[in-house]
Structure 1
């Protein structure tokens, strides 16, 4: 192991301490930028980008500002967020259609107003430190990411899972924070087509469940990327998609979220993997 590799390993394994989610404040910019520069060098070496699934850092509750802060400090390429609409038309970040799993509320989110939802804790199942964590709005999330990008050499972009949202307010909010151009949008093919009508330059990412869908989806949607089901990925499929000038994103989640598959994704030429274990991805590839 050479000195550079050893130094990068030390950097990666120190991230949980240096960038603790409970600290909330990002460390001194100079030191922070130096660490992120090293991580970017490492990522270029392996040609593999990382998306933080629901912003997951395992240091804070999913889809909260606390976890978004922690993965920004880890230098991720994308933060995946799930956008839903409240009863009174506000855009907020929550994966499930109901409040039960991740908050102390119950019932469908769309049946509640913004004010009602902001009274709930989004820290269910986590340490009491996070009991005052709230369901974030899209506006709070975009402001956080935009502020980060303004003060760091490398930017983090948004991977927007369009759960229950109209295209117009979504495009308006991302455009206001200058995050629209680089964002990728995941959703049903029908939603993505409606989004394209509002913003023709949108980076669409439809799902790909079988290779036979490639031609039709390329011709119909002109995607920026495909969200390819991990179980169908092969070297030849990745090459086939790349020949269409389309990128390959894939979820490496649950039992798949392990070093063997990180290495496999790298070998196949996958562009972005989505993970719940951001820190583990590159530290594993160094071994």
Structure 2
């Protein structure tokens, strides 16, 4: 997963919610478009429907992307799959069948088939189910489990010794816990690169943790992140250097 350095020639870009400059965020075209374009990783968010189906969607509700004021957890997959995105880039370029919410299994298949790392952000309490699915699909060693909620991170390590863990907006206390869990990385809660000192990056690496910041959306920002020694780079906009 982390073979070779993170360089301008071979950057470890994470397509945040897929290539959503080309298609609605987390949609099938956005996820597949990122994987086909050779992103190192494709990030998506996983939630559970009322009838226990894992799907890719960021918000707890459907209002922003589908125009429906209802929670994902309150609808069945049969109800959700009838909806299409009402917001997002490039919707006119895809048939309605491609503009429904993706199943989590479809997302993992896309990453597997195109060689991208699934960078999975856990939203609901679905960690054990996610681990079982990536294991069944032979992607356990090539998957990242990401969350801002540390219990999800701990649950992922309890369920798998092989997945890579990523704690969003970590701090000193949780970094020490990550060291004990092993095979992990963090992002620091900073909005400006100038707020990140070289000492903080060095300290994170000295603990044996990998590190990133959000988000590398211009070539200038990406080059600065690479100079800082960051290990992977989430992006909302970059397609290639």
Shorter chain as denominator, the TM-score bin is 0.7 to 0.9
For the 8 Å contact 1:86–1:109, the answer to whether it is kept is: yes
2:20 paired with 1:95: no
RMSD over aligned CA atoms reads 2.3
Q: 2 CA distance for matches of 1:222 and 1:168?
A: 18
Q: Give the aligned length.
A: 231
Residues 1:80 and 2:40 are matched in the alignment: no
Aligned-residue offset at 1:47: 6.2
* Separation in structure 1 between the aligned mates of residue 81 and residue 180 of structure 2, nearest angstrom: 39
CA contact (8 A) 2:57 2:101 kept: yes
Question: As a proportion of its length, which structure holds more helix?
Answer: 1
Question: Is 1:239 aligned to 2:202, yes or no?
Answer: yes
Matches within 5 A, 1:1-287: 44-45=7-8, 48-126=11-89, 127-130=91-94, 132=96, 133-148=99-114, 155-187=115-147, 188-210=149-171, 212-213=172-173, 216-231=176-191, 232-252=195-215, 257-279=217-239, 282=241
Normalization by structure 1: what TM-score?
A: 0.73
Q: In structure 1, how many angstroms separate the alpha carbons of the residues matched to 2:101 and 2:226?
A: 34
Residue ranges of structure 2 left out of the alignment (5+ in a row): none
Q: Secondary structure at the match of 1:185?
A: strand
Superposition deviation, residue 65 in structure 1: 1.2
Q: Which of these two proteins has the greater Rg computed from alpha carbons?
A: 1
Deviation at residue 175 of structure 1 after TM alignment:
1.2
Q: Taking structure 2 as the reference length, what is the TM-score of the superposition?
A: 0.86
Which secondary structure does the structure 1 equivalent of 2:62 belong to?
coil
Per-residue Cα deviation, 1:205-258 (whole angstroms, up to 9, x for no partner): 113444x336533345435111222444222211111122211122116xxx33
- Compare 269-278 and 84-93 and name the one that shifted more: 269-278
1:18 corresponding residue in structure 2: none
Q: Distance in 2 between matches of 1:60 and 1:42?
A: 30
C-alpha distance after superposition, 1:100-134 (max 9, x if no partner):
11114321111000000000002524433336111
Structure 1 residues 46 and 217: CA distance shift in structure 2, 3 A: farther
Q: 2-side partners of 1:274 and 1:178: how far apart?
A: 24
Q: What is the alpha-carbon distance in structure 1 between the residues aligned to residue 37 and residue 233 of structure 2?
A: 15
